[in-house]
Amino acid sequence: MTTADSSGSSPRPFADIPGPEGDPLLGNTAEFVDDQLGFYTRVARTHGPIARYSIGRYEFLQVSDPEYVQQVLVRNNQAYTKGERFQSTLRPALGNGLLTSEGSFWRSQRHAVEPAFHPDALQGFGDVMVEATERLCAEWTAGHQRDIHDDMMSLTVEIAAEALFDIDIRDEEEAIADALETVMDRATKRIRRPIDIPDWAPTPGNRRFDRAMDDLHAVADRIIDQHEEGTGNGIDVVSLLQSKDDPPSREQIRDEVVTILLAGHETTALALTYTLHLLSENPRQRAALQAELDDVLGGDRPTVADLPDLPYTEQVVKEGMRIYPPVYDLIREAAEPDVIGGYRIPEGTSVTFQQWVLHRDPRLYDDPLEFRPGRWTDGFERELSAFAYFPFGGGPRRCIGDRFAMMEARLVLATMLQDWTVESTVDELSFAPSLTLRPDGPVEMIPRRA
């Protein structure tokens, strides 16, 4: 709904919104492709909290103020959808799952699976998370370099399958991880490229993607088959969907399984990878974390009941996701006209907002690039603007697994870092941004006994 801005004056036209100059044909494509994260930051710092740019034939509106993000995600969320660009990238992989579905169908599906993420249900997942971490650490050899990102991806997909689908996938873990990697690699190439390659084109990338989807669908079908044989625990995602008064089709359940396998492990794996790197680079903070673990746990296995007594561990996780947000960029499409920052926003506009930009904004955080877990006091969080920090999104479509992810990250770190420390072999991380903030290659670290 179009309205005047807060000053009462009529909104200004969309064409008046500032932004970087670009090539007449390709817009800002070259600058964007060369350094996507740096491009977002330069647009915000140079052109202000509302700016527009174009990638090929697609035009985007970037908002970099917490108030504007809140308007899109919360106050006027009914005026925005995920949008065609997001859908065209993910629907081939995720079908009509929770990440891609819209409207009443999405609300029905989300309501059905919410009990799996309820705090009472989460209490039962702690042992799964700790035991999986112990199995991983048992494979480590002190002084032998490992790709920690690969380890965290394997760990979190194993946890997601057992906790959320009540199934052990260790025998298929490598194949599943490879398939999910292929899906994300495709998204990396498609999310905002200026030229679309049809899904039916027999390119090597499309063929790899088709094989990966065959593998993921086979795993999802096996999960569904086992539940149909009565092996579900009643509160896992598949059991909850099958128990609806009007249960979804097998194909729809399969879409939800693939969606949650992907979304339920990728972001947590990235958060753990980057937090371990930050701890390696900041020995004082690492020592403070280990001191808390020693004091509270005394060498015992951590449990969910211990988490309230591990505040610094939680601060470490929060600060890691601030500096390196696994979900670094969100996009919405205006389903109707709106006004943001005093400018008319036409229907169909693609609106983007970046955690990468806001989480590192010096107006919001002192020394924003410094790893300071202790900044996350109750007083600091109360004074922080809403949507100055939003690692899990916000509004009705806030990540359904946010509590699951925070519990998992804390328990994994508490289990791992009692006995181990990891030494990063890279001075500076590099990224290949996709739907998530993926690393550009292996993240090599050397485990050592603590």
pLDDT for residue 3? 42
Residues 317, 325: Cα–Cα separation, whole Å? 11
Q: What is the pLDDT of residues 404-415, one digit of tens each?
A: 999 999 999 999
pLDDT for residue 2? 42
- Dihedral through CA 153, CA 155, CA 159, CA 161, nearest 10? 60
pLDDT for residue 143? 97
pLDDT for residue 228? 81
| Whether 262 contacts 164, CB under 8 Å | no
Residue with tokens 């499309």: 206
Specify which of 179-188, 191-200, 228-237, 353-362 reaches the highest per-range mean pLDDT.
353-362
pLDDT for residue 351? 97
| Whether 322 contacts 359, CB under 8 Å | yes
| Whether 408 contacts 159, CB under 8 Å | yes
Specify which of 73-82, 111-120, 188-197 reaches the highest per-range mean pLDDT.
73-82
pLDDT for residue 226? 85
Looking at residue 385, the DSSP 8-state letter turns out to be P
Q: Is the pLDDT of residue 1 over 50?
A: no
Burial status of residue 257 (CB atoms within 10 A of its CB: 0-12, 13-18, 19 or more): buried
Q: What is the pLDDT of residues 348-373, one digit of tens each?
A: 999 999 999 999 999 999 999 999 99
| Whether 89 contacts 434, CB under 8 Å | no
Length of the chain: 450
The two tokens of residue 220 are: 């999802």
Domains plus CATH for the chain? Answer: 14-449 (1.10.630.10)
Q: What is the pLDDT of residues 29-41, one digit of tens each?
A: 999 989 999 999 9
Q: Is the pLDDT of residue 176 over 50?
A: yes
Q: What is the pLDDT of residues 255-294, one digit of tens each?
A: 999 998 888 789 999 999 999 999 999 999 999 999 999 9
pLDDT for residue 385? 95
pLDDT for residue 263? 81
Band the pLDDT of 4: cuts 50, 70, 90: very low
The two tokens of residue 68 are: 């504007």
Which has the closest alpha carbon to 91: 213, 225, 237, 176?
A: 213
Determine the average pLDDT of the residues in 220-227.
88
Residues 422, 64: Cα–Cα separation, whole Å? 35
pTM score, whole prediction: 0.93
pLDDT for residue 449? 95
Looking at the DSSP bridge assignments, the partners of residue 421 are 448
Band the pLDDT of 177: cuts 50, 70, 90: confident
Residue predicted with more confidence, 88 or 377: 377
pLDDT for residue 439? 94
Q: What is the pLDDT of residues 367-390, one digit of tens each?
A: 999 999 999 999 999 999 999 999
* Cα atoms in the 13 Å half-sphere on the side-chain side of 342: 10
Radius of gyration of the chain (CA): 22
pLDDT for residue 8? 60
SS3 69: helix
Terminus-to-terminus CA distance in the chain, angstroms?
58
Residue with tokens 């057992």: 162
pLDDT for residue 290? 97
Residues 358, 394: Cα–Cα separation, whole Å? 14
Q: Is the pLDDT of residue 202 over 80?
A: no
